[in-house]
Amino acid sequence: MLVVVTGGSGSGKSVYAEKLLAKLANTRKEQTEQNIYLATMKPFGSEGQERIARHRKQRQEYGFLTVEQYTQIEKAQIPAGKTANVLLECMSNLVANEMFDNSNSRSAEQIVRDITGGIEKLYEHCCHLVIVTNEVFSDGNDYDGETKNYIRCLGKINQYLADIADSVVEVVYSIPVKIKGGL
């Protein structure tokens, strides 16, 4: 099952996604399955380190193995054979990492294709895949060209994810609102 969880900053989407993946994993009761937290946030500065520490503590009870993969998501070390339940946290960081990497010379369209292709390859190895993304499109601010380009790319990827997902949930003030599918 592929589930997309979206919401604004501080909405509770990460906690919801963690609990959801644990619940989905428990429905299978396969001894060989592994719950993997696929982290895409690069640890910049003390604030970033604190956020990462908070997220690790928050998910301790779920027995996640943390795999850090900041770019090229398809290269993440995930066991073959659909034996993994994966929480990808989060698409917004992955897109930023891919777009603003100093060695990046790809067009925005190529980055979208690379990320969506990487998600397809990742999902081939997953029993359940829960992807967290951000809703950054409704604040009404006027941004510079690079930021607008980032928002457009994230929007295209989020549309793609919503299209292929079995379920899409928006978390608003820690309340899950089902947009597509059922859980």
As a whole number of angstroms, the distance between CA 180 and CA 183 comes to 10
Contact between 37 and 67 (Cβ < 8 Å): yes
Contact between 169 and 177 (Cβ < 8 Å): yes
DSSP 139: S
DSSP 142: -
Written as tens digits, the pLDDT of the chain (183 aa) is 999 999 998 899 999 999 999 898 887 655 557 899 999 988 878 887 787 777 777 777 778 888 999 999 999 999 888 889 999 999 999 999 999 987 778 899 999 999 999 999 999 999 999 999 998 777 667 778 888 899 999 999 999 999 999 999 999 999 999 999 987
As a whole number of angstroms, the distance between CA 162 and CA 179 comes to 9
Cis bond leading into 126, ω under 30°?
no
Instruction: Report the first-to-last Cα separation within the chain, whole angstroms.
Output: 10
> Which is nearest to 75 in space by CA: 38, 25, 49?
38
> Which is nearest to 159 in space by CA: 101, 103, 97, 115?
115
**Threshold 0.95, pTM exceeds:** no
> Which is nearest to 181 in space by CA: 29, 5, 28, 25?
5
Question: Which run of H or of E encompasses 87?
Answer: strand 84-89
As a whole number of angstroms, the distance between CA 3 and CA 169 comes to 8
What is the length of the chain?
Answer: 183
